[in-house]
Amino acid sequence: MQKPKILITGAGGQLAKSIAGIADRYPRFEFVFLTKAALPLDDRAKMEAVFEAVQPQFCINCAAYTAVDKAESGKESAFLINAEAVKELAKTCAGWRSKLIHISTDYVFNGLSSVPYKESDPVDPINIYGASKAKGEALAIAYDPETIIIRTAWVYSEYGSNFVKTMIRLMKEKEQLNIVNDQVGSPTYAPDLAHVIMKIISSTHWLPGIYHYCNEGRISWYDFAVAIKEMTGAGCFLHPVPATAYPTPAKRPAYSLLDTSKIREKYGVSIPLWNDSLKKCIHHLQQG
């Protein structure tokens, strides 16, 4: 009997690589990882040809324009990839009856909350990247109401470029660093999110809609850096500073905590503490 196929877009990114890293634990599925070149999301004809060739039962959309500051001057590119391409993918998934999981972000919110954001809270992005992702969510649901959207935040892993790897490198290179201490959230270890996605796909029930996922706990970027320093034994001195000390083209939400109770309840997910997952990541990085 043929195995159910899972098509994963954005094969070069952290989440897709994290899914590839756990794929052997899910032998009953066949995984097909495609880069932007192999699956251009802005080319409907090519997309249809890929879906016809692969015939996936599931599609995980990990492809995104994530250059938050660059998006401020590159609005067209951000919306093309994060919104229009998502619409085309959702249309294609609906046509082929392929179940779509689309990854989104805490940046759809304005960051002015004082309690973790629920899936039902109104979106109100404060930068172009967030606006493009919010539009993508709306288009995915409009063109494929069976879509599952997972919003996540502060993603890191052993792969690619991220806060953890950057901090480890900088702490070796510099004697001191200034780290923002007035933006709070909870990091997401990409392999943890990969397992949750596979739990949803492996389950017997598909419940469309929006879900939130990040690791447990509440910290600032400064707290995150301090933990990385302690776990790696770095000697670098860390200074807490306000976000205003680092003006950037794009505004960042000051509060990024997501309420994860819905995904726990609907899919029986247990979510690790952020520092437990960070330990795992650093251990893997140190093992090389």
Query: Exposed, middle or buried: residue 256 (CB in 10 Å: 0-12, 13-18, 19+)?
Result: buried
Annotated active-site residue 129? The verdict is yes
Token pair in block for residue 224: 């995150």
Token pair in block for residue 91: 């249309």
Strand partners, 60: 8, 101
Q: Could you give the CA distance from residue 237 to residue 122 in angstroms, rounded to a whole number?
A: 40
- Exposed e or buried b per residue across 4-21, where buried means at least 16 C-beta atoms within 10 angstroms of its C-beta: ebbbbbbbebbbbbbbeb
Q: Write down the catalytic residue from 65, 129, 156, 159.
A: 129
Q: Could you give the CA distance from residue 134 to residue 40 in angstroms, rounded to a whole number?
A: 21
Q: Which residue has the tokens 């609005």?
A: 75
Q: Could you give the CA distance from residue 268 to residue 106 in angstroms, rounded to a whole number?
A: 22
Catalytic residues: 129
